Amino acid sequence: MCSHTFFFFPKLSSLFALSHLSQQQSTMVALSQSTIQQFFLKTCKPVNPLTFPQIPLIDLSKPDSKHLLVKACQDFGFFKVVNHGISLDCINKLESQATKFFSSPQLLKEKAGPPDPFGYGNKNIGRNGDVGWVEYLLLDVKPDSHYNKLQHPENFHCAVDDYVTAVKNMACKILEMMADELNLEDRNVFSKLLMDEQSDSVFRVNYYPPCPEVQENEIDGGNLIGFGEHTDPQIISVLRSDNTSGLEISLQDGSWVSVPPDSESFFINVGDSLQVMTNGRFKSIKHRVVANSKKSRMSMIYFGGPPLNEKIAPLASLLEREEDSLYKEFTWFEYKNSAFNSTLSHNRLGSFEKFSSKI
């Protein structure tokens, strides 16, 4: 039986009406060239494929996976996992429910929004002027949350509940393997924050519709912004997307590389909070989504966060002799407020660093 339900607060309609999910039946509001321009970004310098290191691929069933997990967090802050134990049936059930929602009439979708903070969003991301070519559902996953604004809430609620339970357990397993490899005495030092009843974890479904008015490369040197560049403020993020490309990650030299899609695997990235807890050993990677002018894309992301009153600081057991803590201690509530009151691309950890030149 499912134990979670979700509640959104209906308010004003969103800025634009988007297409239905079916490309054959899609219709869109005609957009002016000036309106489309705001969704474009200039392409960063390209990556030489001969020098681009491959995204780490980790088989969770292999005995060397703990070592590879830590290495990937230190080198990239991002990796793909296979043999994760989550059934395709669980994934497909949620994707089917999400597809039904995003292919619903616009007015019906808007009854589940706008997000304040939870609910349906359309193009406007956050409260600081960021925009993207995206529709989304942002859901609270606490047991006492309520959601009764969908057309068939019981079906959606069960699919989300089963999926979130599965990916949270996988995330906790990964975090415990990391703690083992780091030789931490408390194997649950990271995972217990996600398992806590007051964990401030959230779940997000992003839908990037095609944009018929825009042809790729129509604006010289530009790409259509689906979701602007950012790091995730939580501890860990678990991403699953369909087989449409669009996700890009930033390398240390500032170049952007496309992540090949894989609908049967999961992508994991380190969040800001885990970077702090490891005193910068693990890297919170900057990433973004470039939308497609012809194909839709859907992604589902579990953001594993600590309780609001949890103090976030480098673990003493990870500080080597005479090693300085690089960050000031803060609560997750303080950091969350700071992060969500800034623009996506802002260096959110900057004001919490003690020695910014060392990061």
Residues carrying an active site annotation: 297
Find all residues with CB under 8 Å of 33, minimum gap 6, and list them.
none
Which SS3 state, helix, strand or coil, does residue 69 take? helix
Mark residue 133 as left, alpha or beta (left: phi above 0; alpha: psi -120 to 50; beta: remaining): beta
Q: With beta carbons less than 8 A apart as the criterion, state whether 200 and 336 touch.
A: yes
- Kindly give, in sequence order, each residue whose CB lies less than 8 Å from that of residue 81, ignoring residues fewer than 6 positions away: 58, 59, 60, 170, 174, 265, 266, 267, 268
122: which strand partners?
135
| Stretch (H or E) spanning 57 | strand 57-59
Radius of gyration for the chain, computed over Cα atoms and rounded to the nearest angstrom? 20
Which residue do the tokens 């349906």 mark?
120
Give the residue among 267, 284, 260, 292 at the shortest CA–CA distance from 335: 284
Place of tokens 């806590």: 196
Neighbours of 299 (CB within 10 A): 24
Q: Are 91 and 298 in contact (CB under 8 A)?
A: no
Nearest to 141, CA basis, from 189, 94, 108, 103: 94
